[in-house]
Amino acid sequence: MKDFKSKYGPWAVVAGASEGLGEAFARDIASRGINVYLIARREEKLKELTGIIQHDYKVQAQYRKVDLSDPGQIKDFFSQLDVDAGLVVYNAAYAPVGRFAELPAEDPEKIVDVNVRGPVLVAQLVSARMKKRGSGGIVLMSSLAGTQGSPKIATYAATKAFNTTFAEGLWKELKPMGIDVLASCAGAILTPGYKNTQHQKPAPGTLTPEQVAAKTLNALGKGPVTVPGTVNKLARWFMGRILPRRWAINLMHQQTKKL
């Protein structure tokens, strides 16, 4: 805990922190003695969580309403950030479910704005700050959905594949500067959003937000990619290395058609 705090403290920014996995990241980071700055769109939830963290973990906590689909708001936040943030977790994601041709016209663009433009811009802004301090960590949430094409979440899955590859490149570039970069390729997570789209029993390998957050943070500094959970590690290896591509897509379809 002391090593984690000394390298990635004294502050962490969690993007997409209002509930679910973002809340789990904020709580886990706070439990390690690091102050947290929470950003997301839902201000009331941020305010409530900030108070809980201050009370339960005895660390400082701040929040700000930021729409992570808006580059201008992202730039404004980081240009005005007045704390020494040694860790940034980009957890925000937009993931509407449906056949691509039937989605509202604005959905694919918003998926790209939140899931690709957002993390690229955040990584650019925070890496410049971390380079000056000589240390830091950047965590990007990816997904097993990005291992292969995923029907009904095709654009979302493609953005998650981007985040994995992006993190791998940054990991190599920024490591000599003391900055650790990690993509967390999670499987199904029991978040409120997942529960709203899932009408049957959870998929194999499903983890709680707390499990994913802890496993991800524990993997920071140990390599460019982590896959939380043994079942999910096996699934990524099997789907990405063993099965023919077409079979992997068809197998994924058997899961996503239930959404």
Q: Annotated catalytic sites, by residue?
A: 156, 160
Q: How far is residue 91 CA from its own chain's centroid? A: 3
Give the integer Cα–Cα distance in Å for 193 and 195: 5
Strands (E), 51-129: 61-65, 85-90
Give the integer Cα–Cα distance in Å for 130 and 169: 17
Residues 6 or more apart whose CB falls under 8 angstroms from that of 112 comprise: 155, 159
**Which residue has 């077409």 as its token pair?**
246
Sheet holding 35-40, edge to edge: 61-65, 35-40, 11-15, 85-90, 136-143, 179-186, 225-226
Task: Count CB atoms within 10 A of the CB of residue 52.
Answer: 15
User: Does an H or E element contain 43, and which?
Assistant: helix 43-57
DSSP result, 54-67: HHHH-S-EEEEE--
